[in-house]
Every structure is written in structure tokens, then in C-alpha cells.
A and B are shown apart, each in its own frame.
Chain A
Amino acid sequence: MKYKFYLDKKVVEAEIANSATFHSPTEIKIDKNKLEILIGEVKDEEVLSFFVDNKLRQVEFVRDENGYPEGIYVDEEFYSASLLKIDRLFMYKEKPVSASKSGVVRSFIPGYIKKIYFQQQARVEENDIVLIHEAMKMENEIRAPKSGVIKALGVREGDNILANHLLFEID
């Protein structure tokens, strides 16, 4: 079976025997290099390490919400893998790029709301600092993505919030 995917923006072709299980040393072809892979440690159906040419590598796979691979950590080093083809079957998926800027701003990591500079219904200009979100001693200035009126404010000063929590919405 032939695989084709992008790894750090380079096209890589892989060839694997249809019967491959990797429970015993299995030879695969990457571009023109031959490598031998064997599963090392398995935990809860998730493979945590592989032997590649008899060298043990710690692995972690990162997937997007649809289960497609986004990348891989090999010995803690990260490689991004964006899309792939399998034989003639296209499993091709591109991330949608939003054309207009959305006014909804969410927290990207858990943290603490240190300071809010605007009230609800206040008018803000693009790039104004709306609030300060502190996580692990790092102060993040959350700026307005566009000009407009603050339609909703999802937090109060002093709130502890989780990741992906609504901070504010600009209309």
C-alpha cells in the first residue's frame, strides 16, 4: 500500500506491505530509504513507542477534531503533517480560512482575568487592549480583533477561567 503525505511542507511517500502489523519487525520504504519498524510499548490501544532500525523512539500523535493526523512528536521534537493521500483515494482536507475577522474572542489557555479596560456596550477600535489575561505569571494582552461595540463580555475581573472560555464578543 502506498501513502503520500506532507511532512513539514515536504512531500513524503511511504510504502507498506498490506499485511504489515508492526508486531514483528516490518520493512517499509520512505522515499527511497528502507526502515524497519517494530512496536515498542503499547498502552490503552495507544502506541507510545516504536523501534525504528532498532533504535527506540518515543512517539505521540496529534490529531485534529476529525481524527486526521496533524503532526507527531518524536522524542519530544514536533513535526507537522498536514494532509495525506492513500493510493488513489484522496483523504485530502484543507483547513477553512475565515475571510472576515470574527468578533468572538476565546481564551486559548486557562488562566486568570487580571484587568478589564472596557464595559459592555463600550466602543473599541481594532487592536485596543480589551483585557489582561494572566496565566503562569505571563500577562497576555487580549486585543480587539476589529472595531465595534462590545456585545457580550463573558468574564469579570478576578475570574479563573478554563481554555476556550468566551472572553468577549464584538459586533
Chain B
Amino acid sequence: MKEKVLIPTRGVIALDIINSLNSMGMETLLMHSPEDSLTLPVKLADRSFKFYSSRLEDSYLDSEAILEKAREVHADYVHPGYGFLAENPEFSKLCSDNHIRFIGPESRVLAAVEDKIQLRQTAAALGLPVLKFSELIRSPLDFDACGGDGNYPIIIKPLKGSGGRGIRVADYRRDAQEQVANLLKREENVRNGVFFEEFRPYAHHIEIPFFRDVKDNILFLPEIESSIQRRFQKIFQESPSPNLDERLRARLYECSQTLLKKINYVGLGYVEFIVENNECLFSEINPTFQINTLISEVHLTSNFLKKQVVISRGELLHNVQGVRIVKPKHHVLLVSLMAEDPYRNFLPSTGQINHFFHYSTIRNVFKTTLYTGARVTPMYDPFIGKILTYAVERPNAINDMRIFLDNIIIRGIRTNLVFLKHLLENKDLRNGETIIDFLHLKFDFSKLKNTEEEAIVAAALLAADFHIDNRKKDYRAKLEKMKQPGLLKRLFSPY
């Protein structure tokens, strides 16, 4: 009998899971919200089950309902995708208590990674350099006692947050106090607490992807630089990073190895570092599959979802003994396509796709769930696709990506395509100066248009439009005149 996998997730990751596990000969059972009934994963899954409501708490976050369904269909595995329940230690524990394999790290590891302060203390105790951080804050009054009069700017985070939710940057003390007070108005933040850390606008954000098995074998992949973020969502990622030398790179791998051994991490994950001036500071560990896992898949030319399943069964890594560091053969770029209007301060844009088309080469991958007729709903985040390009040299990869973006047509909703095109033409990005606060320091949002020639074109088209419009009005006016009751009489009257 086929092994059964329950997949309570949506979007691109659901598609990837369904395709990979189907090819491994497993039966894929999707759980989806009523809002997602017409999406591609529902069409491709072997069977799918609908949650009764589209509210997040009653659908993708409802661990009780998911577990109940898993028991009912006798599922062998649950793959939570990313986001939603993927980083939740209680859910992982619930699954293993019910003899269902949770594809991802075990509950113990997830709990260790979730508490960011504890994890950093562990790292510091091992002698690793870490990003400066505050103690836990549970009340706005704690703020000063926790070092609120230190250096600014700072970045304020919920202790157990993920996916960029609730993260704020404060430039001075009053601002920080207000932000902390606002964050602590939420129940979950009061329960778990918030903390802050130093914000380094000119640093680089580097992630080290890895696989680790039960026998302490580690497969390290080339680092991914994801410095350029908007609202703490990564929008432009590349690998290898243009800002690391061999010495620093070796140091990052060394730090990661020490820490992973200490917490005995088994599975796929990402160690995140902040790198500035030859100094690498440990920040946190991301324990799930990510959007940028596609980059690592290109480097290793292998399917990571399949690998993840194998590791979660407790099997050993294939062809790895001790530490293996994969060397990059290509420069890989990945951008995120979002349903946001760059001309209206990146307001989310929703609606039906009237027209969707793209044309790619062998070095482009465009993963999206869009199709002509699909609906983008306001229920979920505005991420609608990811676009990957690779080439041997970095400038070629950027050029290829820029050209490929011209080959995408999406009508019906507004997307950040224009913004991405301008981003790829940015001089500083082309020089490799990708820094954390790139969009504030190096990117001019007022220049999202307006080369001289384009303005003339716009003028011409507007003129044409007005003219056509006027003619239409004239035509309509004539028709109205024809309908006047007196007209026929006058024409045919004998008098």
C-alpha cells in the first residue's frame, strides 16, 4: 500500500510537496481552505479535504482538525510546508505522540530554535560571536531596565515570531518605547514577550543552508545572501554572496557546525548570520523549508523535499561522511513576485487574473500558482511566485533575470514586477553592494518610471486616448440625436 502524506498548506509549497512526493510513490492528501478551492494544488493532489472555514485559526493553523483528519485517513506523514504550523513545537509533538511522522525537525529542536534569546545565549556560551540582544520584555515598563538607553537604531521582535510579522525598527528612544507598548497590546506578545537587538543598516544578511543527520554528518550548501528585504520579506536573494571572502566563509561554516552539534539538530535548516566588516554575528536558525530552498536545489541539482522526507525517517545523508561543503558552480538569483502595487506604497492588490503568460529559457525557473482565471484573495500573504535565474557569472545572471521579467505578462492585478525591474537595474546592486537597509539607502522609489523617452510615450498615448474618447462621445451624441422623437417626424413630415 502507498504511504500517505497529509499536506495542510497552500500555494507554491503545496504544489512542490505534491509533485515531489507523488514522484516518490506516495499518496498526497491535501487539506485546503474553502477560499483555496479553485487553486492548482487542489487539482493536482490525489485527494483533498476542505476545512470548514477560511479563517486561519480554523484552517491551516487548526492543529486539532489537522490531526483528527490525519488519524481518520491513517496518514503516515504530515508535511506542514513552511509558515503556518511548520515551526510549531507543540504540533510536531502532537504528531509524534500520535505515531505520525512530522516532516521537519522534531519538537525538541523546534523548541530550542523558537526561543531566540535562549538560542543566542547558547551560542554565546560556546564562544561564538552573536548579535547584541536585550533581555525579554513583557511590559512596557521593562524597556529601560533592559537597556533601552543604549545605542540606536534597534530592531524590535516578538520572541517567537516568524515570517516578518510584528518586527519594527526604532530610530530613537521615544519611538522605541511607543513601538514596544504597541506590540505589547497583543495577547500573544505579552505571553511570549518581545526583545530587541541592534539594527545594522550597512551589514549583510547571510544564511547557511544545511542538512544534518542523526550520525552528525552535515551537508553544507553555498551561502545565500538575502539582505535586500522590504517589510522584512526577502525580495532579492543570491548565492554565492558577493560580499564574503574565503576566510569569512570558512568561519561561518565552522560556527554553524559547532552550534548545530550542541543543540543536536537533525533535519533541514538555515543558520542566519549578520556580516559586517569581516565580523560574522550569529542571529538565529530557521528550521523549515523556505522560498529560497530552490537556490540550494540548483547548487546540488537534487530535490530537497525528497531529501527532507528521507532524513525525517531517520536515514543517513547519501554520500556524506563528516562534513561536506558543496562548491557553487553557478551564480543563482531569486526574486519574489508579490501582488502589491508599487505606485500605491505597496498596497496588496487582489482580484482575478485576466491574462497570464510567461516564456522562459532553460536557465529560468518561474514557480507560481497563477493561471488565467485564478483569484488572488486578501486572506493570505501577497507572495504569488518566485523567479530564479542562474548563470556562471553574476552580471550575466542579473541581465538574464532582467530580460526574463520582460517575458512575464500578468493582467488583472497589480504586481511588483516594475519594482523588480528597476531594482535589477540599480547600479549599487550590480556592484554587489547589497546591504540590509538597501531600499532606504540605495534605492530611489520616486524613480520607478520616467526615463525621458517614456514620458513622451505616455503623453502620446494619453493624447490618443482623449482623442478616441472624444470621438466616441461625438458618436454617442449623434446616436442620441437620432433617437429624439421629433426627428423622424421632421424628416418624414409632409409639411
Contacts and interface: CB of A to CB of B under 8 A. Distances in A.
Interface of A: 1, 3, 5, 7-8, 10, 12, 14, 16, 20-22, 28, 30-31, 33, 35, 37, 45, 47, 50, 52, 57-59, 61, 69, 72, 74, 76-79, 81, 84, 86, 108-112, 115, 117, 129, 135-139, 141, 158, 160
A158 B381 CA distance: 17
Contacts of B418: 76-78
Contacts of B455: 7-8, 10, 79
B465 A47 contact: yes
Interface of B: 54-55, 163, 165-166, 182, 185-186, 231, 339, 343, 347-348, 350, 378-382, 409, 417-418, 448-450, 454-468, 470-472
B348 A79 contact: no
Contact of B457 (A57, A109, A115, A158): A57
Contacts of B379: 112, 136, 160
Given A112-B378, A137-B381, A81 B462 contact: yes
A25 to B, nearest CB: 12
A77 B448 contact: yes
Nearest to A117: B185
A16 B378 contact: no
The 7 closest A-B pairs by CB, nearest first: A137-B381, A14-B463, A136-B348, A79-B458, A77-B449, A110-B378, A136-B382
Contacts, number: 134
Question: Chain A's interface: helix, strand, loop or mixed, by majority?
Answer: strand
A7 B380 contact: no
B54 to A, nearest CB: 8
Contact of A137 (B382, B461, B466, B470): B382
Contact of B467 (A20, A77, A129): A20
A28 to B, nearest CB: 6
A3 B485 CA distance: 36
B464 A37 contact: yes
10 contacts: A3-B467, A16-B467, A35-B456, A50-B460, A72-B462, A76-B418, A77-B449, A81-B458, A136-B382, A139-B166
A72 B348 contact: no
Contacts of A160: 54, 379
Contact of B350 (A10, A47, A69, A110): A110
B182 A138 contact: no
B350 A72 contact: no
A150 to B, nearest CB: 17
Given A30-B456, A135-B348, A136-B381, A52 B449 contact: no
Nearest to B470: A86
B414 to A, nearest CB: 8
Which of A12, A20, A136, A141 is packed against the most chain B CB atoms within 10 Å?
Answer: A136
Contact of A136 (B339, B449, B464): B339
Nearest to B472: A45
Contact of A108 (B347, B463, B464): B347
Which of A45, A76, A86 is packed against the most chain B CB atoms within 10 Å?
Answer: A76
A40 B33 CA distance: 41
Contact of A109 (B350, B380, B409, B456): B350
Given A79-B449, A112-B379, A129-B182, A86 B459 contact: no
